[in-house]
A and B are shown apart, each in its own frame.
Chain A
Amino acid sequence: MQDLTFTTLLAVFEEIFGRGLFWAMVVAAAVVTLLYIFVLIRDRAVSWRKFLWAQLSMPIGAIAAVMFVQGVTRSGFSDIGGPIDVIVLLGVAAGGAIGMAILVYTVQSLFWRQTEDS
């Protein structure tokens, strides 16, 4: 590929999802991440109870991400053809797991703050 620059990548992602949806997703990801950092700072501590729930949700996020990618691309595990495919699969799963964990932790912190910290 020629000139694979950051702006090219942005242009390609805009085309994949549509400009509006892509930037909405970027903003959503950024907002969740910022909220996550915000609750960490606000609470001045990591809540291990919330973190436990976040960890428990990680496999769900991993499986959901893999199913999503396979679903939209009409492919399955039998199409894995080489090491890079395994790495991509694990990367998709890891992305889903981490995203889910951050989301679950943040949602708990924002909405169920009073239920613990006793």
Chain B
Amino acid sequence: MHDSTYTPSRRGFLSLAAGAGALGLTGAASNAKAQVQTSAKIVILGAGAAGAALANRLTERLNGAQITIVDGRKEHWYQPGFSLIAAGLKPSNYSVSQTTDWLPKDVTLKHEWAANIDPESRKVALQSGEVLSYDYLIVATGLSLDHDAIEGFDLDMVGENGIGALYAGPEYAARTWKAASKYIEDGGVGLFTRPATEMKCAGAPLKHTFLIDDLARKAGSRGKMDVHYMANNNSLFGVPIVSEKVRMLFGDRGIAPDYSHVLTGLDAGAKRARFSTPEGTVERDYDYIHVIPPQRAPEVVRQSGLSWADKWVGEGWMEVDMATLRHNRYPEVFAVGDVAGVPKGKTAASVKWQVPVVEEHLIAQITGGTSDAAYDGYTSCPLITQVGRAMLVEFDYHNNLVPSFPGIIAPLEELWISWLMKEVALKATYNAMLRGKA
């Protein structure tokens, strides 16, 4: 075979390389903003997704600020991983890192819980008795899972006798898989519940149902199973168009929806659960039950006077403006993440969109200016429908679908690419967000 006579020149090569370099430089040119000089005292309650991301972003933007972050838990939990752990797809340590891994050096971390918030005198008391005064307060405490509200249920039961509860943490998610995998082997009646309160990631109860259904199908035991999804009201998801799609998928998978069945208690020995329904209390036998308890703001927030008085009564979410996340009565107080009293947005994806809004308003306030940054309820849920497929559902306050890749990734279609994004890119994007870089 003869060599061809194609002869690229050295000059061509050099200009190509130079061009590529120039392209790289333009691309990498950061959108860094000028630092603001301030001596403001900023206290952030909670070092979870919202608290850590905001701490990183504020240290980038502010020079001289005293930032203190308060969190009693030393572990950081990647909560979007819990559904995968509870389906045996990841080990429990997949979701666990250390809080200190994510925080910038120049913030002060208090490894204890806040005991009291006094927004009038602008002070936060810690459990050790130490009192922090603040100029600005960011409440990013997350929420409390009220397991005691389920009569007869105790977290120690998780993993045995057909009881799962994946929300409670990485270890409980792993124990949930222990119970769920036994259910996949033995079959019987499965009840997949969700609470009637506001909750974090309303897609997770659905994901767990879909994943157990799919794993049983692949194990060849689905025929022995009678799977029920216990909806808290007459829909399967808060966004009507998504609810309809889920109803169709449930029909396809043979998952029976039981509407308006809210779990109130269970008898673990008899494997019988009690539900509150419009027709009164209903008892149902189960072989596997997935418990998600009622959720509310942490006690310290509910006692602080920062909660809504007339909305979500008893749940205690913070009274903030739904666009700016600034407190309606205390303008130096913001809420980010699960604890914010806004109609949607108890997901990590929401945090990703909320954090820059709070950052802008806080910095505007420090510099005496204003900002028109606004949060419109963006929430995203890679709704897994089987191992290997998901629907990338994204929506806002108005129940509109707001796809990130319109015309490319269809929001209501079960796609492999959406699964790939969940598997490969989601945790990475989350980590980048924690570092304040996404």
Q: Hey, which chain A residues are within 8 Å of B427, CB to CB?
A: 15
Interface: B413 (CB within 8 A): yes
Bound CA–CA A117/B2 (angstroms): 8
Do B404 and A1 touch (CB < 8 A)? Answer: yes
Bound CA–CA A69/B419 (angstroms): 12
Q: Which of A39-63 contact B (CB under 8 A)?
A: 40-41, 43-49, 52
Interface: B389 (CB within 8 A): yes
Do A73 and B28 touch (CB < 8 A)? Answer: no
Contact of A73 among B409, B414, B419 (CB under 8 A): B419
Q: Hey, which chain B residues are within 8 Å of A80, CB to CB?
A: 416
Q: A73-B423, A81-B389, A84-B409 are in contact. Are A46 and B417 (CB under 8 A)?
A: no
Do A7 and B28 touch (CB < 8 A)? Answer: yes
Q: Hey, which chain A residues are within 8 Å of B429, CB to CB?
A: 1, 12, 15
Q: Hey, which chain A residues are within 8 Å of B423, CB to CB?
A: 72-75
Distance from B355 Cβ to chain A, minimum over Cβ atoms (Å): 10
Distance from B345 Cβ to chain A, minimum over Cβ atoms (Å): 13
Q: Which of B194-227 contact A (CB under 8 A)?
A: none
Contact of B1 among A5, A37, A48 (CB under 8 A): A48
Contact of A85 among B3, B4, B415, B438 (CB under 8 A): B415
Bound CA–CA A2/B349 (angstroms): 10
Interface: A90 (CB within 8 A): no
Bound CA–CA A85/B410 (angstroms): 11
- Central interface residue in B4, B427, B437, by most chain A CB within 10 Å: B437
- Central interface residue in B3, B353, B428, by most chain A CB within 10 Å: B3
Closest to B352 in A: A2
Bound CA–CA A52/B8 (angstroms): 20
Q: Which of A1-54 contact B (CB under 8 A)?
A: 1-8, 10-16, 34, 37-38, 40-41, 43-49, 52
Do B420 and A46 touch (CB < 8 A)? Answer: no
Do A73 and B420 touch (CB < 8 A)? Answer: yes
Q: Which of B66-86 contact A (CB under 8 A)?
A: none
Interface of A is mostly: helix
Do A48 and B3 touch (CB < 8 A)? Answer: yes
Do A15 and B432 touch (CB < 8 A)? Answer: yes
B389-426 interface bits toward A, Cβ cutoff 8 Å, 1 = contact, 0 = none: 10000000000000010001110011111011001110
Q: Which of B16-35 contact A (CB under 8 A)?
A: 16-17, 27-28, 30-31
Q: A7-B28, A16-B428, A75-B419 are in contact. Are A41 and B8 (CB under 8 A)?
A: yes
Do B28 and A6 touch (CB < 8 A)? Answer: yes
Distance from A53 Cβ to chain B, minimum over Cβ atoms (Å): 11
Distance from A6 Cβ to chain B, minimum over Cβ atoms (Å): 4
Do A8 and B437 touch (CB < 8 A)? Answer: yes
Contact of A81 among B28, B89, B356, B415 (CB under 8 A): B415
Interface: B386 (CB within 8 A): yes
Bound CA–CA A72/B413 (angstroms): 23
Do B3 and A45 touch (CB < 8 A)? Answer: yes
Do B388 and A79 touch (CB < 8 A)? Answer: yes
Bound CA–CA A79/B414 (angstroms): 9
Closest to A92 in B: B420
Do A10 and B13 touch (CB < 8 A)? Answer: no
Interface: A78 (CB within 8 A): yes
Q: Hey, which chain B residues are within 8 Å of A10, CB to CB?
A: 28
Bound CA–CA A14/B437 (angstroms): 11
Distance from A78 Cβ to chain B, minimum over Cβ atoms (Å): 7
- Central interface residue in B3, B8, B416, B425, by most chain A CB within 10 Å: B416
Q: Hey, which chain B residues are within 8 Å of A14, CB to CB?
A: 428, 432
Do B416 and A81 touch (CB < 8 A)? Answer: yes
Distance from B59 Cβ to chain A, minimum over Cβ atoms (Å): 16
Do B31 and A2 touch (CB < 8 A)? Answer: no
Do B414 and A12 touch (CB < 8 A)? Answer: no
Q: Hey, which chain B residues are within 8 Å of A6, CB to CB?
A: 27-28
Distance from B80 Cβ to chain A, minimum over Cβ atoms (Å): 14
Do A82 and B388 touch (CB < 8 A)? Answer: no
Interface: A110 (CB within 8 A): no
Q: A12-B428, A41-B10, A74-B388 are in contact. Are A48 and B4 (CB under 8 A)?
A: yes
A68-108 interface bits toward B, Cβ cutoff 8 Å, 1 = contact, 0 = none: 01001111101111101100110000000000000000000
Do A37 and B13 touch (CB < 8 A)? Answer: yes
Give me 11 A-to-B residue pairs in the complex whose CB atoms sit less than 8 angstroms apart, sorted by A's number.
A5-B31, A8-B437, A12-B438, A15-B432, A45-B3, A46-B6, A48-B4, A69-B420, A73-B424, A81-B389, A81-B413
The 9 A-B pairs at the shortest CB distance, nearest first, are namely A79-B388, A15-B428, A75-B388, A6-B27, A11-B437, A11-B432, A85-B416, A15-B431, A16-B428
